[in-house]
Amino acid sequence: DVKVTQSSRYLVKRTGEKVFLECVQDMDHENMFWYRQDPGLGLRLIYFSYDVKMKEKGDIPEGYSVSREKKERFSLILESASTNQTSMYLCASSLAAGGAYGYTFGSGTRLTVV
């Protein structure tokens, strides 16, 4: 069964901490994405990557960075966590040039910043 695995289901961090959210996929997908999901706002794209060591800003990159050292792993970094970054974070992957299945999502990390 193909999978996108996010390392933590729930996290509680303090304001100002550096936070790492890890995502690993075993489908040999080229593309990987990080979204946050908030009530009434839907899914918003933070960063994405089409290849190893490649990254592109999405719609809301401020306060975040990413790392993709290996094809299967895409990390989201909150440089200095703030309370407005409390959210559900979803990682997704897809084949290059899309295809008929769109994304495969991980199970999500619910982050609370206190």
Partner 1 sequence: GQNIDQPTEMTATEGAIVQINCTYQTSGFNGLFWYQQHAGEAPTFLSYNVLDGLEEKGRFSSFLSRSKGYSYLLLKELQMKDSASYLCAERPGANNLFFGTGTRLTVIP
Select the span of 19-27, 65-73, 75-83, 92-100 touching partner 1 (CB under 8 A).
92-100
> Beta strands of 18-103 (E only): which ranges?
19-21, 23-25, 31-38, 42-49, 56-57, 64-70, 73-78, 87-94
Residue closer to partner 1 by CB (options 12, 16) is 12
- Asked if 47 touches partner 1 (CB under 8 A), the answer is no
The reply to whether 24 sits near partner 1 by the rule CB under 8 A is no
- Should residue 51 be labelled a site residue for partner 1 when binding is judged by CB under 8 A? no
Q: Specify burial of residue 99 (Cβ count, 10 A radius: 0-12, 13-18, 19+).
A: exposed
Q: How far is the CB of 98 from partner 1 (least distance, A)?
A: 6
What's the rounded Cα separation, in Å, for the pair 112 and 114? Answer: 6
- Cβ proximity to partner 1: between 80 and 107 the closer is 107
Q: Which residues bind partner 1 (CB under 8 A)?
A: 31, 33, 35, 40-43, 45, 48, 50, 58, 90, 94, 96-98, 100-108
